[in-house]
Amino acid sequence: MAIQASKYKFLDLVRESDAITRGSQVGEKNHHALYRLIRRLSSIDLIRSGQIYTLETPIAELTAANLTRKALSSILKNLIDDRLITQLFIIRPGKNAVLEAVSCYIALPTDDLVSPNQLYYEMILKSVANIEEVIKQLPVYKHEDIKKDLEADFAARGAPPFDKLNRTILDPVRIIVPGIFDFVPDADLMRFGKADLKEELIRRQLFAELFEYGMMPLKKEEISPRFEVAGDFLTNRLIPHYRDRQNLKAELEAIYVEESAYYLDPFAPRNADFIVRKATAMKKNLIGQSQGERIRFPGLLAIEQILQLAPFIEELNRDQDKRDIQEGLNDIMTRLRSIDSQNWQDMALYLDEDEVDEIHPDVFKQLLSARDVMNSSWETGKGTLLILARKDRQIFEGLVNGMAASEGVENWHVLALKFMIEKYESDFPNLFQDEGFRSMYGRLLRKVYLRYIPFYHRILIYLGIRIFQDGAFQTAKDRIMEEQSHLAVRNKQRKETQMQKRLVERRERLAKAKDLGAVMRINEKIDACFRNGELPTASRLAKESSGMEPAALLDFLKRNSFQMLPLEGGDDSIVLYPLDQNWRVRSARLIRLLDSWKEKQSDDADPDRGLFYQSLPRIRRLLLDRGVAGQKKKDEEDPYEKFSQELKKHKEQAPDADLDI
């Protein structure tokens, strides 16, 4: 905050000698004692430590004089009139209120390098520090408390009911009124002092200014709940109440359509933009103009909270999205680190297209570009398999040794391994210098190639006639590559057709997606509950969904296929995600989160989480029964087993025909 001396005329002070020359009474004993004390306290360090002169400050030199408050005030007034001191204000913890503002005084500092402007600035900063300490001591309000203020504001007609909004509004600037001063304050002090204090509080992100209401404290723990409650209130109370206003309905409908399309993407980043746009549209359409003054409308408090908290929410959303992506990446990397596994099947991940689609696109990109991860693909008749493994020589050795010792190895396992070895052979130049590895790998390939060459060549090779062996094996290699190329083209076309179909379905679903915004907000509440170790019960969601009756919420949940789990020992239910196209992605995330809570259970001393931990096995069982990403349903065959069966069947029907893998 820059202080311009020319603006602050009330800081224009004179020295003691100049005042005496002009007839000041500062030479009188009592005047001089008081002036000397104020001047001594006019120090940056003393102001920072809270040693500031007010009428309550004891003056040792005047104790014997036994001056009354009136007499002391008279001396102060003389010193102010002589421009030896000036009256400012300081905000501090109140005796009968949360905060109070009182008059304080400064003189020209004893240090010639310090100006009255600097002392004024320090007084503003000290007020800010005092306010910050008070704010830290305030309780963190819960959803129900925050909602009460929104209800009171919505019910009020006319001026904001400030006395009923004390959980939201605490305006230090509003208490700076002429009545708190010992003397009639300078008009510029009132104007600039209030503006400078407000600017500093907002600059430090301690407060947000709500239009027509004043200052709202910004407690970090309350930012997300306040935004969430205000968003629910706008959706469930304000929009139904005001949506038929001229121009507003069409504007809101346009936002809803765009929002519905946005939320169809299961990996869409958290976004406060749509609720902010709705709030902006309502404010623009509802706020009036009357003789140049803007008029509030019932419910504006919720809208102002949304608009002022949005910048903070966007940052919180970005941070949470980054954490989600990192957790997804860490989960896959943890699975890839099993290089010491006894089972060769666990040394690499074989992911079909459905499983790949359940990986966040950013996680997928990081996996493909990671220096310590190898990736390859294998084309099948049903789609493309993505193969991932840690970039480690032990992976190749373990896979080759494991496949060689196993009876259940299919051709595609060996050939997919061959593709990966060829892709990363340059990263392991000494791999084939190991005679044992080279021999084992060669026998694996030979065994597979024999199945791809004509039967008469096989007979000759079995009889020891190897003159045609090299050509036969080359024919097998060419056949494999041709099949892979053919399948790659076919799978790509099929994938593009599927994507086009999804686009068409997306457009068709827009007409039915008006409830989707509410569905996603409930999903976010479910996410938040589980992240905090709390159960998302139907009664809780009804309480946090401003204005929605429990019966209406239950009907909404059933209509939108939310999965419900009766709570043991009560009439309530645990609410899980809707059984829709995003169920597998969301439930997979939740399984990982529940498992992390299970690991913390033995060290968790919170007595309120007893029912939460007790319910985890039942929740997990329901998720698995409905089908979770990465988990096979009971009646679901292994995709690789299916592939193997199809391949065998094809061979039996047409042994010499082209393979359709």
Phi and psi at 87, nearest 5°, equal -90, 125
Same domain, 278 and 416: no
pLDDT of residue 661: 25
- Place 644 in a pLDDT band, splitting at 50, 70 and 90: very low
* Between 341 and 496, residue with greater pLDDT: 496
Measured CA to CA, the distance from residue 61 to residue 286 in angstroms comes to 62
Whether 642 is in a domain gets the answer: no
Same domain, 40 and 113: yes
Q: Of the ranges 23-27, 248-252, 301-305, which one carries the lowest mean pLDDT score? A: 248-252
Same domain, 397 and 465: yes
Q: Of the ranges 107-121, 472-486, 521-535, which one carries the lowest mean pLDDT score? A: 472-486
Boundary (domain end) residue, out of 338, 360, 384: 338
Whether 177 is in a domain gets the answer: no
Q: Is the pLDDT of residue 224 over 80?
A: yes
Residue 573 three-state SS: strand
The average pLDDT across 224-235 equals: 95
Residue 173 three-state SS: coil
pLDDT of residue 521: 75
Whether 646 is in a domain gets the answer: no
pLDDT of residue 655: 39
pLDDT tens readout for residues 191-203: 999 999 999 999 9
Whether 508 is in a domain gets the answer: no
pLDDT tens readout for residues 571-626: 889 999 998 877 888 888 899 999 999 888 888 888 888 889 989 999 999 998 88
CA-nearest of 199, 310, 167 to 207 is 199
Whether 103 is in a domain gets the answer: yes
Those residues whose C-beta lies under 8 Å from the C-beta of residue 570, and which sit 6 or more positions away, are none
What is the residue whose two structure tokens read 């045609």? 468
pLDDT of residue 338: 66
Measured CA to CA, the distance from residue 223 to residue 234 in angstroms comes to 16
* Between 411 and 250, residue with greater pLDDT: 411
CA-nearest of 73, 81, 102, 69 to 25 is 81
Cβ neighbours, 10 Å, residue 21: 10
CB hemisphere CA count around 63 (13 angstroms): 5
> Residue 320 corresponds to which tokens in the numbers above?
């949470």
One-letter amino acid at 130 equals N
Q: What is the 3-state secondary structure (H, E, C) of 330-356?
A: HHHHHHHCCCCCCCHHHHCEEECHHHH
Q: Is the pLDDT of residue 471 over 70?
A: no
Specify the DSSP element, H or E, that contains 290. strand 288-290
Q: Of the ranges 95-109, 162-176, 463-477, which one carries the lowest mean pLDDT score? A: 463-477
Packed helices 469-510 and 455-462: angle between N→C axes, nearest 10 degrees: 140
Q: Is the pLDDT of residue 456 over 70?
A: no
CA-nearest of 359, 242, 249 to 302 is 242
Task: Render 391-419 in DSSP notation, one character per residue.
Answer: S-HHHHHHHHHHHHH-S---HHHHHHHHH
Q: Is the pLDDT of residue 209 over 80?
A: yes
The average pLDDT across 385-390 equals: 92
pLDDT tens readout for residues 267-283: 888 889 999 999 999 99
- Place 412 in a pLDDT band, splitting at 50, 70 and 90: confident
CATH number of the structural domain spanning residue 62: 1.10.10
Query: How does strand 383-390 pair with strand 373-380?
Result: antiparallel
CA-nearest of 154, 204, 156 to 305 is 154
Instruction: Let me know: does 612 contact 535? Beta carbons within 8 Å.
Output: yes
Same domain, 383 and 283: no
Q: What percent of the chain has pLDDT over 70?
A: 85
The average pLDDT across 155-164 equals: 86
pLDDT of residue 470: 58
Which range marks the domain in which residue 560 is found? Answer: 537-626
Same domain, 263 and 357: no
One-letter amino acid at 530 equals F
Measured CA to CA, the distance from residue 259 to residue 274 in angstroms comes to 6
Q: Of the ranges 5-14, 69-78, 211-220, 292-301, which one carries the lowest mean pLDDT score? A: 292-301
What is the residue whose two structure tokens read 């913390």? 600
Q: Which of 15-19, 233-237, 395-399, 631-635 has the highest mean pLDDT?
A: 233-237
Same domain, 483 and 351: yes
Measured CA to CA, the distance from residue 548 to residue 159 in angstroms comes to 27
Cβ neighbours, 10 Å, residue 489: 11
CA-nearest of 239, 253, 240 to 511 is 253
Give CA 1 to chain center in angstroms.
Answer: 31
Show the DSSP H helices in 234-272 as ranges. 239-242, 248-263
Cβ neighbours, 10 Å, residue 588: 21
Length of the chain counted residue by residue:
661
What is the residue whose two structure tokens read 């190639």? 449
Beta-bridged to residue 379, according to DSSP, are: 384
Measured CA to CA, the distance from residue 159 to residue 213 in angstroms comes to 9
Same domain, 489 and 350: yes
Whether 558 is in a domain gets the answer: yes
Those residues whose C-beta lies under 8 Å from the C-beta of residue 529, and which sit 6 or more positions away, are 535, 536, 540
What is the residue whose two structure tokens read 């204005």? 547
Phi and psi at 175, nearest 5°, equal -80, -5
Boundary (domain end) residue, out of 105, 137, 169: 137
* Between 208 and 95, residue with greater pLDDT: 208
Same domain, 392 and 278: no
In degrees, rounded to 5, the angle at the alpha carbon of residue 636 between the alpha carbons of residues 634 and 642 is 145
Instruction: Look at the chain and report how many structural domains it folds into.
Output: 4
Phi and psi at 477, nearest 5°, equal -60, -45
Same domain, 43 and 17: yes
CA-nearest of 126, 139, 51, 138 to 98 is 138
The average pLDDT across 390-404 equals: 89
pLDDT of residue 438: 87
Boundary (domain end) residue, out of 497, 522, 549: 497
Measured CA to CA, the distance from residue 183 to residue 87 in angstroms comes to 8
Query: How does strand 99-107 pair with strand 85-93?
Result: antiparallel
Long-range contacts from 189-195, C-beta under 8 angstroms, 24+ separation: 189/10, 189/87, 189/88, 189/89, 192/7, 192/8, 193/88, 193/89, 193/124
Query: How does strand 373-380 pair with strand 349-351?
Result: unpaired
Same domain, 369 and 488: yes
The average pLDDT across 614-639 equals: 69
Measured CA to CA, the distance from residue 176 to residue 180 in angstroms comes to 7
End-to-end alpha-carbon separation of the chain, Å? 72
Residue 128 three-state SS: helix
Whether 100 is in a domain gets the answer: yes
Residue 57 three-state SS: coil
Q: Which of 4-13, 50-59, 432-441, 498-507 has the highest mean pLDDT?
A: 50-59
Instruction: Let me know: does 51 contact 105? Beta carbons within 8 Å.
Output: no
pLDDT of residue 650: 44
Whether 308 is in a domain gets the answer: yes
pLDDT tens readout for residues 11-25: 999 999 898 888 888
Residue 633 three-state SS: coil
Same domain, 433 and 473: yes
Alpha-carbon separation of residue 531 from 428, 598, 638, 652 (angstroms): 43, 13, 32, 53
Packed helices 300-336 and 220-233: angle between N→C axes, nearest 10 degrees: 120
Beta-bridged to residue 290, according to DSSP, are: 293
Cβ neighbours, 10 Å, residue 22: 9
Instruction: Let me know: does 286 contact 297? Beta carbons within 8 Å.
Output: yes
pLDDT of residue 603: 86
Give CA 222 to chain center in angstroms.
Answer: 14
Work out the mean pLDDT of the chain and round it to a whole number. 84
Same domain, 326 and 388: no
Measured CA to CA, the distance from residue 150 to residue 115 in angstroms comes to 46
Instruction: Let me know: does 117 contact 8? Beta carbons within 8 Å.
Output: yes
